[in-house]
Chain A
Amino acid sequence: MRLPLIDEHRSDAGCGSGGCGCAGTSGAQPVASRPGMTRRSFLRTTAGATGGLAALAASLSPLRELTGDGFSMQQFLQKHYKEMTESDMNKALDRIRAQVEQRYELRPEIRDIKPLDGVEFVYALNLSRCIGCRKCVHACVAENNQSRDPEMQYIRVIEMPRGTTDIEQGDHHYDRPTVPDESHYYMPVQCHQCANPPCVKVCPVEATWQEADGIVVVDYDWCIGCRYCEAACPYWARRFNFTTPSIPRDKLNLNMSYLSNRPRPKGVMEKCHFCLHRTRQGRMPACLEVCPTGSRKFGNVLDPDSEVREVLRTKRVFVLKEDVGTLPRFFYYFDERDPLRNISVEGAGS
């Protein structure tokens, strides 16, 4: 392998060599110019340039395997989500539909579902009831078309020893024949849809933002994959597609939406979006529906009669890492009704 090391034999600039195309500038040369290029140096120059180009081509050869996954000219020119008109969005949806059809030979139902007026979603999770069965984890993967190989999960269930709320002491990879274990309690963590989301703040291109109903979404067609949001999240709620996600054809969920569970390309971020393609249409998130113990409560906190509102009012509620100031919309609580509510003690004044 030769590289383009052109030995000019101390020849002057303006040699007219084929390899470098300098003929046009020789006019500016002084009269004391060298004699023209010798045959030998011409051969050397050519061989050097050819060898160099060959080496360059060889080093780029892995690009031949490029499949064009996640890349199309139309998508390249696509505008930011918030700047798209209705017809822009329809075109984008058509493109995604065609891509899914081409890849899976299945026709998806894909829409862009907007937030509802007067709705702010809130999640509440009952730590007294959760048994750590991880059914929510897998229902989420199935619902949201996450990559199966490697498997990506939005929900992480941590097995916590009783007597502490310090998650450093939890076990992420507990593997028991039966759950729950008597000496532990279980704490599922997913995106907290913070009202003050650090991930949104740090994104350099506004590829992630908070919607009117409080859900923090990602535009998979806008994300540049810098992973700054992943570093910023205190709840480890964000996931990156280190390679092209792979989903078996029979596992694909065909009920899709633009900002939630449509298939993602490699190199972009994704995260829990409270199943917005379901919840914005009056259904419950997949993780809630599958929960065998009823530990999960979800609803509109602006609705005074909602179940989540009742939980926030009557249970002992806390949020994870309150000190980082993210104002999560995901609450944990313990089941006991306030045992002190019917007791009153005199002398409570200071």
Chain B
Amino acid sequence: MKDYTTFLFRCFRLSFQGDWRYYLWMLALTMIALVGLNAYAKQFVQGLATTGMTDQVSWGLYIANFTFLVGVAAAAAMMVIPVYIYRHKELHNLVIYGELLAVVAIVMCLLFIVVDMGRPDRAHHLLLRFNFPISILTWDVIALNGYLLLNLHICGYLIYCAYRRRPPSRAFYIPFVFIAIVWAISIHTVTAFLYAGLGGRPFWNSAVIAPRFLASAFAAGPAIIILTLQIIRRATGYLVSDGAIHTLRSIATIALSINMFLLGSELFTEFYTHSAHVVSAQYLFFGLHGHNALVPWIWTAIALNLGALVILFSPWRQRLPLLNLACVAMVVGIWIEKGMGLIVPAFIPSPLGEIVEYTPTRNEILVCLGILAFGALLYTIFVRITIPVLYGELTIDRAYHTDSASGQDRREHQHSGDHQ
């Protein structure tokens, strides 16, 4: 126990150590997070009237970000599956960064839910009167918190074992890895069912929602991981092989293709049938009765996704700058698709046919940026701690010295460490 508190304490101290770029990055993130906290404090006092939401469009940017990040969290499984099921070697040492990303994404999801609640002070009512299994929201509470615990356990256990300089016992984490794979699929499926189960919202009430959620998540998630791994490689000298990146690239390529196919099926069903249920899709893609706030967004998203797909199928897909461009396009495209393309249009027109458009307020956007910055801050700290521990630079009998942490050393040490 004492060893563990020492470990936590050393981690805490380590998170304050770094060069000027690290400080600058952390300072910027801290400031954005505090600005977000300030915006949330205003919302907490005045109520959700500080957001652009209305009784007509009762969910907005918060739930959109929540949905997107559930997908990012689920996508960690896309790194774990090749390693543990197909015994993919090159990804092996990188899995932990995917799992840490899952932890951070879930933390951000929970924060987005908290800021969306009218009465966060009553969150304990979930413990006292849990409408399970009737309400799908209660399923989501279990799925998300369970996934958080699973990944915290896996990452925490592996890192602590490396710190203690003892090999991790397979029985303590391999079963959890396999549970987490299934659980990852479940978190996004349950989140999709949250929307798909509502008969009063024809735009959501479609069986393709869950498969589309998974497909888009398994494109955006690996794309984020590809970008993150390159940043880690550049900033810390940690050896990330191009092979690993290209494995993730092919996963993202397949998932994005499936996503575009599902989008096509959805569009065909909606617009060829052209029943009364098409109104929301009509509003989203072409505008309705002169209201067309979302039209530019959705076409941007489709253009970005198609652009990414073209790059991913082009002969130059192996070139990293081009791949990174495709990843950024994919992440932005899918973020728009989940938010402006999936959450908001289901509310327009309202069930009584009234068209009220939604524009997020400045305060609402600041809260979102604050949470995203906090997530980035958390992830940076996790990576900051993980790398020296896995390299054996910070162990139970050796506190961390900045001097010893050069990228060159790490590249040499890469294969001697027996992490994971």
A63 engages B41 (CB within 8 Å):
yes
Bound together, the chains give a CA A26 to CA B120 distance in angstroms of 40
Report yes or no: A63 in contact with B45, Cβ–Cβ below 8 A.
yes
Verify A66–B44 contact, CB threshold 8 A: yes
Bound together, the chains give a CA A239 to CA B123 distance in angstroms of 20
Interface flags, A56-81, vs B, CB<8A=1, else 0: 10111111011000010000100110
A108 within 8 A of B: no
When A60-B41, A201-B134 are in contact, do A168 and B353 touch as well, CB less than 8 Å? yes
When each residue 326-351 of chain B gets 1 if its CB lies under 8 Å from chain A and 0 otherwise, what string results? 00000000000000000000110111
B214 within 8 A of A: no
Query: Which B residues touch A7, using CB under 8 A?
Result: 16, 23
**Which chain B residues (33-52) contact chain A, with CB distance < 8 Å?**
34-35, 37-38, 41-42, 44-49, 51
Given contacts A25-B6, A202-B136, contact A20 B349 (CB under 8 A): no
Chain A residue with minimal CB distance to B33? A59
Q: How close is B127's CB to chain A, nearest CB, in angstroms? A: 9
A223 interfacial by beta-carbon distance below 8 Å: yes
A42 within 8 A of B: no
Q: Does B402 make an interface contact (CB < 8 A)?
A: yes
CA distance A232 to B201 in the complex (A): 7
B314: Cβ under 8 A from any A Cβ: no
Scan B364-408; emit 1 where CB is below 8 A from any A CB, else 0. 000000000000000000000000000000000111111100000
Complex interface: chain A residues within 8 A of B35 (CB): 59
Determine if A241 and B125 form an interchain contact, defined as CB atoms under 8 angstroms apart.
no
Contacts of A156 in B (CB 8 A): 352, 354
**A324 interfacial contact with B, CB 8 Å:** yes
Residues of B within 8 A of A189 (CB): 352
Point out the residue from B37, B129, B200 that lies within 8 Å of A206, measured CB to CB: B129
Contact of B119 among A60, A61, A223 (CB under 8 A): A223
Decide if B41 touches A59 in the complex (CB within 8 Å): yes
Contact of A38 with B by CB under 8 A: no
Instruction: State the total of A-B contacts with C-beta under 8 angstroms.
Output: 223
With a cutoff of 8 Å between Cβ atoms, the chain A residues found around residue B16 in the complex are 4-8
Interface residues in B, total, Cβ within 8 A: 79
Q: Taking the nearest CB of chain B, how far is it from the CB of A65, in angstroms?
A: 5
Contact between chains at B118 and A227 (CB < 8 Å): yes
Q: Which one of A9-17, A138-146, A301-309 is at the interface?
A: A9-17
* A residues less than 8 Å from B273 (CB atoms): none
Q: Which residues of B, 1-28, contact A by the 8 Å Cβ criterion? A: 2-3, 5-6, 9-10, 12-14, 16-17, 23, 26-27
Chain A nearest Cβ from B209, distance in angstroms: 14
Asked if B59 lies at the interface with its beta carbon under 8 angstroms from chain A, I say yes
Contacts of B116 in A (CB 8 A): 226-227
Task: Please determine whether A224 and B41 come into contact, CB atoms closer than 8 angstroms.
Answer: no
Asked whether A13 and B131 contact (CB < 8 A) given A167-B352, A225-B118, the answer is no
With the chains together, A230 CA to B44 CA distance in Å? 21
- Closest Cβ–Cβ distance, residue A232 to chain B (whole Å): 5
Q: Which of A204-223 contact B (CB under 8 A)?
A: 204-207, 222-223
Indicate if A234 sits at the interface (CB-CB under 8 A). Answer: yes
> What is the CA–CA distance of A99 and B329 in the complex, to the nearest angstrom?
54
The 8 A-B pairs at the shortest CB distance, nearest first, are namely A225-B118, A234-B200, A267-B118, A243-B49, A59-B38, A243-B47, A168-B353, A204-B137
Interface residues of B (CB under 8 A from A): 2-3, 5-6, 9-10, 12-14, 16-17, 23, 26-27, 30-31, 34-35, 37-38, 41-42, 44-49, 51, 53-56, 58-59, 113, 116-123, 125-126, 128-131, 134-138, 141, 194, 197-201, 276, 279, 346-347, 349-354, 397-403
Return 19 A-B CB contacts under 8 Å, by A number.
A10-B402, A12-B401, A25-B5, A60-B37, A61-B38, A62-B41, A66-B44, A150-B49, A168-B279, A168-B349, A223-B122, A226-B117, A234-B201, A236-B352, A236-B354, A239-B55, A240-B55, A243-B48, A267-B119
